[in-house]
A and B are shown apart, each in its own frame.
Chain A
Amino acid sequence: MTDQLPDQLRGVFTATATEADVPPLPWAAVETAGRRLQAVRRRRAALWTAAAAAVAVVAVALPLAAAEHADHHAPAPAHRTMKPAPSASGDLVAALPLGMSANVAMVRDGRLTMGRVIAVGVKRVAQAGATLLVSHLDPKTGLTVDAVVATGPGGRVAALGDPGGDGLGGPVLSPNGTTAVGARHDGSGVTLTEWSLSAGAVVGTVHVPGADDKTLRLDAVDDHGLAYVTTFAPRAGFTWQPGGSPQLMTGVTADLWSAGFTVVGPDGVVDPPGCDDQPLAVAPDGSTVLCHGPAHSGLVFAPAGGTERVPVRLPVKPLDVVGFDSDGSALLTARDGESVWLVRCTAADGACERVSPVPTGATFPEPLTGAAMAPGTPPAVPTTAPSIPYARDGVLHVGRTALGSGITGAVTSGGTVLAMQEGAPNAAGGSTIHVSLVDGDRLLPVPALTSVGLDNHSDAYAPHLSTDGRVAVAMSWRDGTTLRMTAWSVAQRRVLGTVDLPDQMIAAEHIVGVQADGSIVYGDSTARAGFTWRPGSKPVRLPKQLSDEVLKGEVMVTPAGIEPLPHGFLLPSPDGSRFLGTNYHGTAYIASVETGYRVVLDLPDSLYGVVGFESADDVLLTAGDAQGGPLVRCDTTTGACTQVWASTAGVTFAVTGDW
């Protein structure tokens, strides 16, 4: 009996290889990339980081400069009245005490100003604090094409795209000015889109089939990115947040919603103010509403949830309600003879003072009239959003926080999250990978971990984290010839040490993991050699060659150290009590380390990808036969699975743990 398998293999290999259509040699790409690689190795690389930074500065500064340029070249105002003209009615407003100036934006002749010119060609403005949501006209087409957000004097400008809102309400701003939501009718229904204004990017969309401007109204968005929507057929209110599905609100009556009483308390329940009509403005913290008193007897302040009413003590009838200033006072306009004044009235006693004259033809941003959530306490809105950080369309989501833009990946372990942004292509044909630490609701750049890639495999330069999340390690080509490994303390936010690795044409070194004692294990897949490196000292070669499992990255990092995963398993749970295994047929199972008992996961479709363990009890996977399929959460004890998202298109999950 002879062994036929080698011959069968030769046959399969030969048939497969010879029947394949060989694509043409991509000579131009090879030569170009090869020359770049040569150049890098000869230390003639350009200053990629500086170039990328310059591009970023230009990208931010250009719109501002354009606005300033337009300001300088625009015709000067005919006159600028600093003092009101004498009034036949007796200077009632001018007799008010002069108060401090207001931090309010103003539009005149299409020019939006708030201490400086923010934008020109402005059609519509909403304001929340120092954030402005601006719809402006395209000078070429004459159409409203996008929106711009300006944060504070000298702050950034970010194009958001078309915010929508044609008859559907909105776009709306959160009271703290960090989030905007727009609604757009597309024929088959209404699509809600939420933007992170800090990121200047879309963080999520949801489609409401069959809805239109007669059946749906976008009311508001709170500081946590929770959008409030009214539907009229049937009459109800629902909330929606990116990452979750719309949730029917409880405690909301149709009458309240239809009357526009949309002040919502921290518990997520409508808290009707003591108004007899629709609120004209809502304080950013939701504590007070400005509205008409009984039988339109005049403007009153009404505390949310109370019956007390404080009349606005203005000697003339106000022209318009501008909104609430950051100190909780209301800003109004009032005519005094030929002049129009901006006045401020306090909610405590209704007393008013004059602020400044309003130039002829000037208008103000629309006041905040929608729901205002008391900051700090998110409502108990059920959500199925994954707890593993993920980037959707370049925006990183960590819990309920959305931040950053252009995020291409993330790593998380022990509560630490590192985000990666891919910079512009560099001279070596790769990209500079900028690493940032998620610090609450902001991204803290970590220049020490920024990596210059030599090829287009950006994730090859992704940092590793220790299991406790306290040490980050990354590799980088520092000058085109030296592969450098850097260890960085997350807690102390400082470099613990660096080590330069030998220059190798094949660049085979890679990080295996960070051990419990803080030492880093890395390997050389060419030499199959392993090294351990304690920052501050020299690397030490391990006595044994590295196994295939370690070379392929199929390892787990435990408190005891770095160990190969048992054969056939893909991922250990965070507590090490069980493993996720997958098999050849696209099924997945959980195995208990203690008992060896296996539970097959009841996936709705074949397994496509493994996202990671949310906890020892839940694991996230993707299903289907293509990327972008449904996201599924499975119970690791029962094997039962539920769908979290119908689609994961455009989503990149953080690598969990260090394996």
Chain B
Amino acid sequence: MEFDEYAAARWPVLYRTALLLTGNGAEAEDLAQATLVKAFAGWARVRRADSPDAYVRRILVNELTSDRRRGARRAAMLGPVALPDPGVIPDDPGQRLDLWRAVLSLPPRQRAVLVLRFYEDLTEVETAHVLGVSLGTVKSQAHDALRTLRTRLGQQEVPS
């Protein structure tokens, strides 16, 4: 597959995943675009990978991490303190809005775990591979994230 075909096919997916990871349309577009730029530059390596989608997904998540790191420094200079931007979803007075706000308040890696697990429907092993972390880390990140969400939503924790 040539890169242009791949990019055209994957762009909507990348953008939507980026939107869930960033919570902001403009940042999502930047993130998805930066991901494709790096995939273009390394296309020979990407296309040879066992799963080009997984490779590109990993670029996306790493771009997010490094961009958040930069963003943290920007915040200290003058910027938002990672306050959630609920403007990307329709005005929903119910649980959905509360849950989305709570998701956006999670640390980026915890949010990434949830998005990969419950939007991309990756297994824990696949999620660990994308994030470049151990399986145990994915489990603990997911556990911490869900616990935080339950606390913020006032839900009872369900024994596993």
Chain A residues close to B by CB (< 8 Å): 1-3, 5-6, 8-20, 22-23, 25-27, 29-31, 33-35, 37-38, 41, 409, 429, 455, 457, 459-460, 462, 505-508, 510, 525-528, 548, 551-554, 570-571, 582, 584, 586, 607-612, 622, 627, 648, 651-656, 659
Contact = CB atoms under 8 A, between A and B. Distances in A.
Given A22-B16, A460-B70, A527-B132, A627 B78 contact: yes
Q: Specify the main secondary structure of chain B where it touches its partner.
A: helix
A10 B99 CA distance: 11
B109 interface: yes
7 contacts: A9-B103, A23-B29, A429-B37, A460-B69, A508-B62, A528-B133, A653-B77
A424 B88 CA distance: 34
Nearest to A523: B69
A30 B70 contact: no
Given A34-B36, A570-B81, A9 B76 contact: no
Contacts of A459: 70, 73-74, 77
A635 B65 CA distance: 34
B137 to A, nearest CB: 8
A469 B150 CA distance: 43
Interface in B78-110: 78-81, 83-84, 88-90, 95-96, 99-100, 103, 105, 107-109
A26 B34 CA distance: 11
Given A30-B37, A31-B40, A505-B42, 6 more contacts: A5-B146, A20-B25, A22-B11, A457-B70, A552-B72, A627-B80
Given A548-B107, A554-B72, A586-B83, A460 B66 contact: yes
B50 interface: no
Contacts of A22: 11-12, 15-16
Nearest to B155: A5
A632 to B, nearest CB: 12
B68 interface: yes
Contacts of B117: 6
Contacts of B146: 5-6
B73 A655 contact: yes
Contacts of A29: 33, 37
**A-B complex: 3 closest residue pairs judged by Cβ atoms:** A34-B40, A17-B16, A13-B119
A38 B41 contact: yes
Interface residues of B, number: 71
A571 B40 CA distance: 38
B37 A34 contact: yes
Given A8-B99, A16-B100, A37 B41 contact: yes
Contact of A457 (B40, B67, B75, B100): B67
B14 to A, nearest CB: 9
Nearest to A527: B132
B149 interface: yes
Contact of A20 (B4, B16, B62, B149): B16
A525 B109 CA distance: 11
Nearest to B120: A13
A659 B76 contact: yes
A20 B38 contact: no
Nearest to B26: A23
B66 A655 contact: no
A9 B38 CA distance: 30
Contact of B150 (A5, A20, A622): A5
A528 B132 contact: yes
Contacts of A31: 40
Nearest to B16: A17
Nearest to A37: B41
Contacts of A35: 40-41
Contacts of A611: 76-78
